[in-house]
Amino acid sequence: MLGDHIKKIKLNKLEDKKGFAITIGVFDGLHLGHTSIIDELVNTALINNLNSGVITFENAFPQNLKNISSFLLTSDEKLNFFSLKGVDYSFILPFSEEIRSLSPEKFIELLVNTIPISCLCVGSNFFFGKNRSGDVNTLRELGEKYNFNLKIVPLEKEDSNIVSSSYIRNLLLEGKINIANKLLGYKYFINGIVERGDNLGSKIGFPTVNIKYEKEKLIPKTGIYKGKVKVRRDIYNAAIYIGTRPTFGGKETRVEAYILDFNDHLYGEKVEIVLEDYVRSDQKFDSTDKLRAQIQKDLEVIRDLIKEESKVKIITIDGTAGSGKTTIAKFIVQKLDFDYIDSGALYRAVGFIAKEKNLLREDEIVEFLSKNPIRFTFDKNTFRVFISDKELTSLIRTEEIGKYASMIGKMLKVREILTSSQREYLKNVKKGLVLEGRDSGTIVFPNANLKLFVNANINVRAERRAKDLGNISIDEVKKYIIERDKQDINRDIAPLRFPNQGYFIDNSDIGIEEVYDKILSLYLKAL
């Protein structure tokens, strides 16, 4: 019965696995409480070689049950966020009396008969079934009966308040954008197409873009905000206006942006805006001169807030072998004019020294590095590594050195030295840093502004690797990659994991410019 009504959507191009790790919920906003569950889900699937899936509902479900008229995420935005959080499948249930009236056991029975569920991940306050009569204790019993594992994720709290979609909606409607953004884990955004207005902004000296937004999107409290706008493939600071334009007798709520240091027409183009600070409430002025004078004051406040922003941003990139993460990392560096660290090259450099000096014990390597510190630079798109003032950059890319690097990666004290050196390097970074490598977003910079995890379909990865290696069969490479993934995932030290609050980039079949466009959109929203 359920299988006839459920809508199954594949969210990426990765190969299918047997079985599913599943979570269930509305997930409006995909806030910190949600993403703690999603992160657990995705890593559970990664470790156990399962598909990850989210069972969610049509928007009519929360609209009717919770009397919600607008959402933190539109239906399309939510699906996109699921994909960006590393989820493989979305299963959308219809809003029907038949589903609403199912008992907890009947609901789970129908799910396991439709989806091969191996594990279920839920928050500790999860309720389900008719009249919300089922809870996590019910799930434990049903897990034993229907043979699936249960993972319960603790609730996220902020000042004793449970992080929830309704709490964040209220914050937005009160203009408390800073708190809302913190609980979301990203800057609240509004996407839309630029449409022609009546040019009132231009007439008073402040031309704005008028954004046609989706009607199901929650629009925060009216007023002036400091924010940013993604236009084409650039990001600009902006003054954002939300309101009815009472000075001119307006009635309809509009979202407009005065983009700083920008002068071009954008009619018909898609833009994304994020809200960062609430400047003042909307108000009616007696004249356009008074409105113009207030806008000047608003812009002074916004420019002062821009000066206070942290200048150095950190982007970390990890992922599977052959996923193309190095190409992506270097493209971001070039586009954003950031510094770059190739974390893997540091381990290879120490591996090279271990081989050359016949240093096989950790204490020997630690002693050597204490007398001969590792040094690295990034200059003109080239990452260079030195030890004892000897450059090793061109000597460390062999398979043999890779094996030594793997040995080095298991040495905790050596890892601490290399982690410290990467953090120390940050002190001299002027604009931003891209750190590529294992545990870059989990250990080295866990509080990075943007943490990316790159993967691609196994066939694509094998083809890329075979092309790099030359005379070798794709099937042979595929076997190697599958074994390599198993080793990386199951390592005792620094295993391959999706980073907390990270984002997934599927690099299977899109060009580097499109990949960059996705990443820039995430960078726009990053706190």
* Secondary structure (3-state) at 504: strand
Q: What is the pLDDT of residues 240-289, one digit of tens each?
A: 999 999 998 888 999 999 999 998 889 999 999 999 999 999 999 999 99
Structure confidence at residue 46 (pLDDT)? 97
The CATH-assigned architecture of domain 187-308 is Beta Barrel (2.40)
| Level-2 CATH architecture, domain 313-526 | 3-Layer(aba) Sandwich (3.40)
Is 143 annotated for ligand binding? no
Q: Bigger pLDDT: 492 or 240?
A: 240
Mean predicted confidence (pLDDT) in 185-196: 96
Span(s) in the chain for CATH 3.40.50.620: 2-158
pLDDT in tens, 14-48: 999 999 999 999 999 999 999 999 999 999 999 99
CATH 2.40.30.30 occupies which residues in the chain? 187-308
Report the pLDDT value the prediction gives residue 64, as an integer from 0 to 100: 59
Q: Phi/psi at 255 (nearest 5 deg)? A: -120, 115
Residue 243 marked in a binding site = no
Instruction: Please indicate if the annotation marks 393 as binding a ligand.
Output: no
Q: What is the CATH number of domain 2-158?
A: 3.40.50.620
How many angstroms separate the CA atoms of 107 and 437, rounded? Answer: 43
Residue 138 counted as an annotated binding residue: no
268 annotated as ligand-binding: no
CATH 3.40.50.300 domain locations along the chain = 313-526
The answer to whether the CB of 6 falls within 8 A of the CB of 118 is: no
The pTM assigned to this predicted structure is: 0.95
Helices (H) and strands (E) in the chain, counts: 18, 22
Does the annotation list 441 as a binding residue? no
Enumerate long-range contacts of 376-385, CB under 8 Å, 24 or more apart: 376/341, 376/345, 376/346, 376/421, 376/425, 378/339, 378/340, 378/341, 381/330, 381/333, 381/334, 383/340, 383/341, 383/342, 383/345, 385/345, 385/346, 385/348, 385/349
Task: Tell whether 86 is in a known binding site.
Answer: no
Return the pLDDT at 3. Answer: 63
Residue 471 pLDDT more than 80?
no
